[in-house]
Chains A and B, each alone.
Chain A
């Protein structure tokens, strides 16, 4: 058994062959995020770091993917940052929050967890799911990932309702 080290999601593939498209967006003052974190474009037109444990899919949406770090010192609503635009058929390599991942979780819907600028998939949280677990990576990346890994690496894709929900405030 190995304990994997949590890192931010990594775009892996898109079922329709699409390459992630880009956007340059304004960021809410004080927001911080790291490369590879999911972000949410809110109804005020500004980008926010994705959050977890909120009360609607729209509020926990992950519409964008940070392509560069943003430290608190430069976050303001006049700063544009580069983002990738999350699409429905994108698939991301992600860590599970803290546990192992069994094959029987394939196809199930989960929320993400965002802690200390790291986004992971939380199999313990199905309240307002934003991602569908495609498969644990140990099933397809042999001799590197194993079924006993904790913080196991998985392939997950965003739910359409997540990225197409009307922006929340």
Chain B
């Protein structure tokens, strides 16, 4: 059998020439094709409201060094927290429309012609998920607010005296061992003064290709790779498998930091919205209905302290 590639003309509105099956009276059943758009990324992004097409953000802290030995009679030592990195996020306007002709609406045998225009909102939802995932997908090549790539081993703390920190582990296959390295690395994370400020790894995020291994780590009483009945202490860790991530090997530890420190930003000046077009119009009296989606948004990372990546193998 030969695979068949459908071709179709797209001439603007939904038109009878594009959908001969829909005007075919012998067609008995019309089955809807729709898509599944799981919302997997949004929970990791801080939603921020922009006031212009350029959104600027910075961070502040209250983190100070340890108190010093100092007698009552001595001058009081003072200190202020370090300033934070800033980031400018450019928003773009995104639009897409769809419309329908009078004749197609009238002669369509499915009764679902107008439903064919309902995909705009799904397109917007998919776009947002893909845009958020793109921040993670490109995190090893796109710079964050501190000049390092979003996932890098050389992030400077805001107080550079605190040294550097890493959210990129040495690549290795997902195993109980590499997971453990990630976990204890997060638990030993230092703050900007170089002092311990642990991050508890709450969720093991990975890609569908590594879901089986991730669930073995999260679901086994014993260490999956061991034959010695060693207890698996990480049993029960949350696993989140994200289909929008493009790597076939990567896994990520996601910690328990407060939302302001997530470092992942979904910035919106205009949330996705659907508007009915002013149709029919004088120019097009027989284009009888249409809709458009409109949004002004951006997705970006600043400093992703909340996540640690292992590119896997």
Interface residues of A (CB under 8 A from B): 7-8, 10-14, 17, 19-20, 34-37, 65-69, 82, 84, 93, 117, 142-144
Of the candidates A8, A12, A13, A144, the one whose C-beta lies within 8 Å of that of B9 is A8
Q: When each residue 1-40 of chain B gets 1 if its CB lies under 8 Å from chain A and 0 otherwise, what string results?
A: 0000001111111010110100000000000000000000
A-B contact pairs, 26 of them (CB 8 A): A7-B7, A11-B12, A12-B10, A19-B11, A20-B11, A20-B12, A34-B7, A35-B8, A35-B17, A35-B18, A36-B8, A37-B7, A66-B9, A67-B9, A68-B17, A68-B20, A84-B9, A93-B10, A117-B7, A142-B92, A142-B127, A142-B131, A143-B127, A143-B130, A143-B133, A144-B130
For B287, list chain A residues within 8 Å (CB): 19
Interface residue B98 (Cβ < 8 Å from any Cβ of A) = no
The 3 closest A-B pairs by CB, nearest first: A10-B10, A143-B130, A67-B17
B134 & A143 in contact (Cβ 8 Å cutoff): yes
**C-alpha spacing A169/B92, complex, angstroms:** 47
Closest Cβ of chain B: how far from A148's Cβ, in Å? 12
Task: With CB as the reference atom, state the residue of chain B lying closest to A35.
Answer: B9
Q: Tell me which residues across on chain B come within 8 A of A14, comparing CB atoms.
A: 12
Q: How many A-B residue pairs have CB under 8 A?
A: 58
Q: Which residues of B contact A13 (CB under 8 A)?
A: 12
Cα distance A79–B11 when bound, in Å?
Answer: 22
B residues adjacent to A (C-beta < 8 A): 7-13, 15, 17-18, 20, 92, 127, 130-131, 133-134, 283-284, 287
Q: Kindly report which residue of chain B lies nearest to residue A69, judged by CB atoms.
A: B7
Secondary structure at the B interface, as helix, strand, loop or mixed, is: loop
Is B11 within 8 A of A67, CB to CB? Answer: yes
Contact assessment for A35 and B7 in the assembled complex, using a CB-CB cutoff below 8 Å: yes
Tell me the minimal C-beta distance from A103 to chain B in angstroms.
16
Could you say which of A17, A37, A65 contacts B11, with CB atoms under 8 Å apart? A65
B108 to chain A: closest CB distance in Å? 17
Report whether A143 and B7 are in contact in the complex, using a CB–CB cutoff of 8 Å. Answer: no
Q: Are B134 and A142 in contact (CB under 8 A)?
A: yes
Q: Which of B8, B20, B130 has the most CB of A within 10 A?
A: B8
Provide the bound-state CA to CA distance between A142 and B134, in Å. 9
Is the Cβ of B12 less than 8 Å from the Cβ of A19? Answer: yes
Q: Give the CA-CA distance A14 to B283 in the complex, in Å.
A: 13
Residues on B with beta carbons closer than 8 Å to the beta carbon of A68: 9, 17, 20
A11 touches B11 (CB 8 A): yes
Known interface pairs A66-B9, A68-B20, A82-B17. Does A17 touch B130 (Cβ–Cβ under 8 Å)?
A: no
A residues in contact with B11, CB < 8 Å: 11, 19-20, 65, 67, 84
Q: How far is the CB of A120 from chain B (nearest CB, A)?
A: 13
Closest-by-CB residue of B relative to A10 is B10
Least CB distance from B123 to A in Å reads: 10
Contact partners of B7 in chain A: CB under 8 A: 7-8, 34-37, 69, 117
Q: How far is the CA of A35 from the CA of B18 in the complex (A)?
A: 8
A129-B9 Cα distance, complex, nearest whole Å: 23
